[in-house]
Structure 1
């Protein structure tokens, strides 16, 4: 718990550096390209359109709970994009900035947070984009929609715990990044994003519900489509998600603090 507290304090003390570095990181990804930052949105939008065409046009997927398939799909894939991009980029957060670790006194613990904050900018744009699509489909705005920010914060805390762990381990075991990429692929197909949990046999429901991103994906849907408060969900899901997230934060912070003193020697 002390490790988590110390790292969070470092984030608060260096919030200006964190913000400036995240802006620079976002811009640096697209330096030299004609479309610039637009590329940050092209790939996710293309992926959404491909899945929409396959399942809506090709397989003629029926509405889910009388909700157009495109809305059911997009409200859950948007948080997945954020989670996936944050975890994959934050895992290499320290490695990508190794010069800061080796040459200057620098709060290394904020480096994964820089990547997460950089991914958050794109996510916020997609949240606005989702709201616009809901308006186009004549969905009324309701107060429950503000819960998106609760689930957004929940995702950030989950990713922080994971990234503290993976960004420390990857320095000593470089295959970690590839393992994380493979696990994200499994997670995408196992999480009910483009399919409904009701399509799966009941005996597998418990396994799927343990996945942290099931809670987030369903939370976005409940907030934007069904108008349900988070306390109206299964309390077991909430307890499971926060238990896993707190565990990740504690273990991630401990590993990061324990291993950080050796970063400069290995990088």
Structure 2
């Protein structure tokens, strides 16, 4: 179902699934052009700016695509939701896996980009695998809450899109966290996606293992577990009413 869902997102277009690569790739190129060529950004952490930017943009692209795609999981499969014999609870997971296909391709692209600049990740690829699992877990627990809410409040997907536009600037993706005073930095770290972004950069640029920050790791998984608990409770309570409103 995830494979079919991925293909159906681009059915009818001439380039088909290539648009899944072209669109986020163009976003990265635009940001690179603005900051590298326009603002003449200097190397960050002793690596070219493009490497520093891609290390954050690749996981962020998966996060945004996974959240937006999964928010409409139940409404886009309304014909399935009304069939009691189908396990409706699988639909958000179908959407997340669909987005994960594209994420795999972009992670390979990320490795190629780093290798072309003589920064092959090496053993740190294990950290990238772990961070992808973290990101998959975070998107999944959010997907169950947002997709359930979207059944009863159809403006959810539009609101999520706006929040993600703010999120890319509130997360240290295009800017360095060093610009934030130390006493306020903890606020930025409350955002669970910070753990992923920082982990990617630590692994690929600083050769730092994911377990080098145990407090952040415990905080991240604590947040995922709490969100997951409330999301699944919310889904179970609202599931019997799906057929009435879809």
Q: TM-score, normalised by structure 1?
A: 0.89
Query: Where in structure 2 are the equivalents of 1:3-152 lying within 5 Å?
Result: 21-152=1-132
Alpha-carbon deviation of 1:112?
0.7
Counterpart of 1:61 in 2: which secondary structure?
coil
The answer as to whether partners of 1:146 and 1:223 remain within 8 angstroms in 2 is no
| CA-based RMSD | 1.1
The answer as to whether partners of 1:142 and 1:227 remain within 8 angstroms in 2 is no
Counterpart of 1:181 in 2: which secondary structure?
helix
Map of 1:158 onto structure 2: 138
1:204 to 160, 184, 201: 184
Alpha-carbon deviation of 1:36?
1.0
Query: Structure 1: which 5+ runs fail to align?
Result: 1-20
Q: TM-score, normalised by structure 2?
A: 0.97
Q: Distance in 1 between matches of 2:197 and 2:164?
A: 15
Map of 1:239 onto structure 2: 218
Counterpart of 1:261 in 2: which secondary structure?
helix
Deviation digits for residues 183-211 of structure 1, max 9, x if unmatched?
21121111111111002222321110110
Map of 1:14 onto structure 2: none
Q: Does 1:257 align with 2:236?
A: yes
Q: Distance in 2 between matches of 1:181 and 1:45?
A: 19
My pick for the range that moved more, 101-110 or 163-172, is 101-110
Counterpart of 2:41 in 1: which secondary structure?
coil
Q: Distance in 1 between matches of 2:181 and 2:142?
A: 30
